[in-house]
A and B are shown apart, each in its own frame.
Chain A
Amino acid sequence: MMKHQAVPVKVYAAVFGALLALTITTVAVSRLELGEYNFIAAMTIAVIKGSLVVMFFMDVRRATSRTKLFVGAGFFWMAILLVFLLSDYLSRGWLPSPRWL
């Protein structure tokens, strides 16, 4: 049976606080001129926030391996879409265009 003990409110409150703090951080960082790193910083913070929600609020931290596998697979599949899409667009100039195009 998958029911666990109730999580103490303290834990949830800490995660909640972290999420708000990270939101403030990400807005602050966006005001700095970091060039390419703006994007990387924003995405990193978003991934951390998302992970906190998944692990603590959605309780994946204490879930079965199977649940973790499905969660991971979902994000992995979206990554497949994005990576392969980008692999086309970013590599368009790398090799000469074939004669039929």
Chain B
Amino acid sequence: MSTLLPFAQTETRTNYLNADYGWKSWLFTTDHKRIALLYLFSITAFFFVGGTFAVGMRVNLLTPEGIFAHDTYNKLFTMHGIIMVFFFLVPSIPATLGNFLVPMMVGARDLAFPRINLLSWYLYIIGGIIALTAVVQGGVDTGWTFYAPFSSTYSNTHVILTAIGVFVAGFSSILTGLNFIVTVHTMRAPGMTWDRLPLFVWGHYATSLIQVLGTPVIAITLVLLGLERVLHAGIFDPAVGGDPVLFQHLFWFYSHPAVYIMILPGMAVISEIIACFSRKSIFGYGFVAVSSIAIAVLGFLVWGHHLFVAGQSMYASMVFSLLSFLVAVPSAIKVFNWTATMYKGSVSYETPMLYAFGFIGLFTIGGLTGLFLATMAIDVHVTDTYFVIAHFHYVMVGGMVMAYLGGIHFWFPKISGRMYPEGWAKFAALVVFVGFNLTFFPQFILGYQGMPRRYAHYPPEFQVLNVMSTAGASILAVGYLLPMIYLAWAWRRGPRAPQNPWNAKGLEWEKSPTPPPTFNFEEQPVVTEPAYNYSGEKGEVEIG
């Protein structure tokens, strides 16, 4: 189904890429599309940094005794987590694809606050530099969860510096969320009612709600942690009257919703891809839209499932466990709706769709194992083991990163004006899928058999599975390197793309040139049909 024009289209039209040249036009831009690319570069760089720490960990785990000193290993898993969570996953899709597409999908010329958008990126960079400084100075070893009193009293590493870096990056996240919320409310084109919005926008709106409501709490928690480290007043230190569980409550109040910040944009991308490559409107559009909001809201009510064995009261634990079961429902609704969309659709297997298939399968596995963890009786046995690690890597990497790659491929023509090489892309998708499963499936077994997480060494009986996992990681690494190479190549040398290579529905495809001009549309679009109108139904014109 993919259509390339049989002749080359010369690009003489001015677009956002060639509208202006020079480093100043990029570093002082307020164009949401350029900012998205700035983010794309920096996020990819951080992905590499976080990945390097993972490589160190997996190499260490090839043998039961390991090769690194235990303190060093502690730093590796800490920094892997911090970089991947705060500097890769949380910003990833929203700051790149979200920034690029949300204004276009609602029919606006830019986000509501373009200068704040640029500020957001600068805050991200500053936070990242501060965190990297901490890394270079010797790192942090508290785990990305910064549990007190180790982080507040006993750790001898650069906790405060790292906390400042995360704090600053958190503000970047808040400002992005704020921008999206206001844009979706006030900048929709005529006729773009809420029930005509692409599900990509609904997903980003829900994500933004979480960013705005949750991130300030981890911000203040890190402030309190930093102050405690300096003053030792005892707020989190049991030796002097404090409660370490309070830290965990405050930390997870954000960090659990944070995982929904990480997955909702991925789900948003999947909705777009599946509709396009099934040539069908998303089944149950309303349910999927409301489910995004439901996940955002319910996601704030479940954080205590991280504290089941921490000393939280049994009563509270039971309430949190029940709510954790409830939050799985809207995610499941989405998976059923995506599947129903494909049923009797005209399905084709371009690379974005391959990633979408991978997402559905792997996210389902990750999500179901989350239910096991929400069950207290099971959690007692597998908490702090590799079972938990496998669970969240299935949703984060098997889910989110695959969605990210799928989205990048899907919108690559729109963003760059060129097509990527489909053969290489399909191959890379397969390598990612194989590598991912080989890396993380053994970890379910390891965890279930009792291998604890955050341990630099392990009993010899776990070695076989660990070696499998490391082997998988090396394959996965290849799978990630391939797109970086061929996408970089395609950016310069790929065949020019037509305006709508996928024949997709959506304002960004139908009403905007490829690549888009700086103000996105040649004239303001007026929306007259529902989203994903692949069946060609006529809608009513509603202005305002």
Contact across chains for B313 and A95 when beta carbons are under 8 A apart: yes
Distance A100 CA – B312 CA, assembled complex (angstroms):
12
Contact across chains for A88 and B380 when beta carbons are under 8 A apart: no
Give a binary string over B424-446; 1 marks a CB under 8 Å from any A CB, 0 the rest. 00000000000000000000000
Chain B residues in 8 Å Cβ range of A101: 309, 311
Chain A, interface residues (CB within 8 Å), range? 20 to 34
Contact across chains for A95 and B314 when beta carbons are under 8 A apart: yes
Contact across chains for B380 and A94 when beta carbons are under 8 A apart: no
Contact across chains for A88 and B304 when beta carbons are under 8 A apart: yes
Contact across chains for A85 and B249 when beta carbons are under 8 A apart: yes
Q: From residue 55 to 72 of chain A, which have CB atoms closer than 8 A to chain B?
A: 66
Contact across chains for B304 and A94 when beta carbons are under 8 A apart: no
Distance A89 CA – B245 CA, assembled complex (angstroms):
10
Q: A-B contact count, CB below 8 Å?
A: 47
- With an 8 A cutoff between CB atoms, is B87 at the interface? no
* A91/B315 contact (C-beta < 8 A), A66-B185, A77-B213, A85-B249 known: yes
Q: From residue 277 to 336 of chain B, which have CB atoms closer than 8 A to chain A?
A: 300-301, 303-304, 307, 309, 311-316, 319
Chain B, interface residues (CB within 8 Å), range? 20 to 34
Distance from B312 Cβ to chain A, minimum over Cβ atoms (Å)? 5
Distance A44 CA – B120 CA, assembled complex (angstroms):
39
Contact across chains for B301 and A88 when beta carbons are under 8 A apart: no
Q: Which of B185, B304, B309, B314 contacts A84 (CB 8 A)?
A: B304
Contact across chains for B314 and A88 when beta carbons are under 8 A apart: no
Contact across chains for B217 and A81 when beta carbons are under 8 A apart: yes
The chain B residue with its CB closest to the CB of A77 is B213
Chain B residues in 8 Å Cβ range of A88: 245, 249, 304, 307, 312-313, 316
Contact across chains for B380 and A80 when beta carbons are under 8 A apart: no
- With an 8 A cutoff between CB atoms, is A5 at the interface? no
Distance A80 CA – B313 CA, assembled complex (angstroms):
17
- With an 8 A cutoff between CB atoms, is B253 at the interface? yes
Contact across chains for A87 and B249 when beta carbons are under 8 A apart: no
The chain A residue with its CB closest to the CB of B186 is A66
* Top-9 shortest CB links A-B: A91-B315, A95-B314, A88-B316, A91-B313, A92-B313, A77-B213, A87-B316, A88-B312, A88-B313
Show 22 residue pairs from A and B whose CB-CB distance is below 8 angstroms, ordered by the A residue.
Answer: A66-B185, A80-B301, A81-B217, A84-B301, A84-B304, A84-B316, A85-B249, A87-B313, A87-B315, A87-B316, A88-B245, A88-B304, A88-B313, A88-B316, A89-B313, A91-B314, A92-B313, A93-B313, A94-B313, A94-B314, A95-B315, A100-B309
